[in-house]
Amino acid sequence: MGTTNDVINGFFGIVEQYINSLNALERKVVDYKTPSELKKMINFTISSQGEDYQNIFQYINSYLDYSVATGNKQFFNQFYSGFNLPAFMGEVLTAISNTSMYTYEVAPVATLIEMEMIKKMSEIVGFNNGDGIFVTGGSNANLIAMFSARNKLFPEIMSIGMKHLPQMSLFVSDQAHYSFENAANLLGLGTSSIYSVKSDINGSMLVSDLEEKILESRQKNEVPFFVVATAGTTMLSSFDPIEAVIETAHRHNIWCHVDGAFGGSLILSHKTRHLFNGVEKADSFAWDPHKIMNIPLMSSVILTREKGRLAKNITNLQDDYIYHDTETGNYDLGKKSIQCGRRVDALKLWLSWKYYGDQGYGQRITRLLELSEYFENKIKENSRFQLTKPRQTLNVCFRYMPLKDINIDDFNKNIRETLRKTGKTLVNFGIIDNRFTFRWVVSNPEVTEKDIDIFFDNFLTTADQLEDNMQTIN
């Protein structure tokens, strides 16, 4: 198909066309196909003979045509959405330069960028002499936090293991992310080491129950070592009382981690900064810019208040084929990472933050909060909807109340699946108080009130059509 330049130009022509189409009115969030339909439409197998770029372009077009358009302004399904041009540029540059983050030698500029981003984010949290590193997601950040707490309490684990140690225990809200169960499994603690702390009606941890659970654990001769305060739960976007949780944990000499994987970016808005009061006293903090900071997946950090804590987690590195005794050896970030090869995920965040600045990012996140308030008011104003729980930040949980005497949960599920498969909009759901509940979340700062109005038009039109077609359940 011509020269390499022709191929590159052809590829970026497809990319430009896709980006321009994202918010066209006729663009579906997804052109839904079943797995069997996709297998008939796209040749997924790899043959012994290679194919030319003409075919490669067809595969690229098919991939974009039938993937979910998370940049579409009717995508309200996850905590990530939208298109960020400077961050996209960083993603492309990361692929072009194709380096790893273990040494300054092979990633000099990227190393300094990551160090600056960690310094910046640490200072925002209040870890003025802190530490941190980019990881592969919030679940990994939570794992590293638990890993750090365990190894600080029992550093000998690194050499002789855990067989001589007492049973350790950790404490998370009953609304906390499931990644802590995985982390307990991976670290050899077992899920039985987890105490589930009760939450109030709005999904915030009850500190009184945390205190009781810690005392209960000590009475069993266990060693409590890790407490989690969640800054933005998955379903309700609830915030635990961070300062009180930290105070309770530290009074018992327990590491306190704040899981801000989802809600951490809300610290940038003047409207929600108060939710983080006391966070500077935490021992660690997870933060995912790939969520509401609109950075392409993945962009995630783990921050620690103690300088050098992450390096102390790692066994002595003797691999001199990677780590050389040079004047830049103290810049080798791999010495504090459990990964060897590690992608450059800081560049896209750096370019985006350079473009928007602190003020611009604060305004973008404040705008998201305004949009979620607008959505909540639309729910409250229409008697056909029921607000399941009060909105706290960016999530709005609601149900549709059909006029006919039909199963409400089944009907709401039917609305959701119809909207999803027609590609009109994509909105997620969960279970609250044993009831099916829509969880609408806005994370695309390009969304407008008009887009929210379109969502309600699509939703109500679909509900009316389904209700007309359903038989009343006697």
Instruction: Report residue 404's pLDDT band, with 50, 70 and 90 as the boundaries.
Output: confident
Smallest CA-to-CA distance from 189 within 154, 141, 139 is with 154
pLDDT digits (tens, 9 = 90+) for 150-208: 999 999 998 899 888 999 999 999 999 999 999 999 999 999 999 999 999 999 999 99
Task: Provide the whole-model pTM.
Answer: 0.95
- H-only helix segments in 187-234: 207-219
pLDDT digits (tens, 9 = 90+) for 437-459: 999 999 999 999 999 999 999 99
Residues 96, 91: Cα–Cα separation, whole Å:
9
Assess contact for 288 and 299: CB atoms under 8 A.
yes
The whole-number average pLDDT for the span 252-274 is 98
**216 vs 169, 197, 247, CA distance in Å?**
11, 12, 18
Contacts of 58 (CB under 8 A, 6+ apart): none
Hey, how many other C-beta atoms are within 10 angstroms of the C-beta on 1?
Answer: 11
Assess contact for 42 and 35: CB atoms under 8 A.
no
Q: Which strands form 255-260's sheet, in the order they lie side by side?
A: 131-135, 300-304, 284-287, 255-260, 223-230, 168-173, 194-197
**Tally: H helices and E strands in the chain:** 14, 12
- H-only helix segments in 227-345: 242-251, 309-312
CA 49, distance to chain mean position in Å, is 40
The label of the residue with tokens 């899981």 reads 259
pLDDT digits (tens, 9 = 90+) for 313-361: 887 656 666 666 777 778 888 889 999 899 999 999 999 999 999 999 9
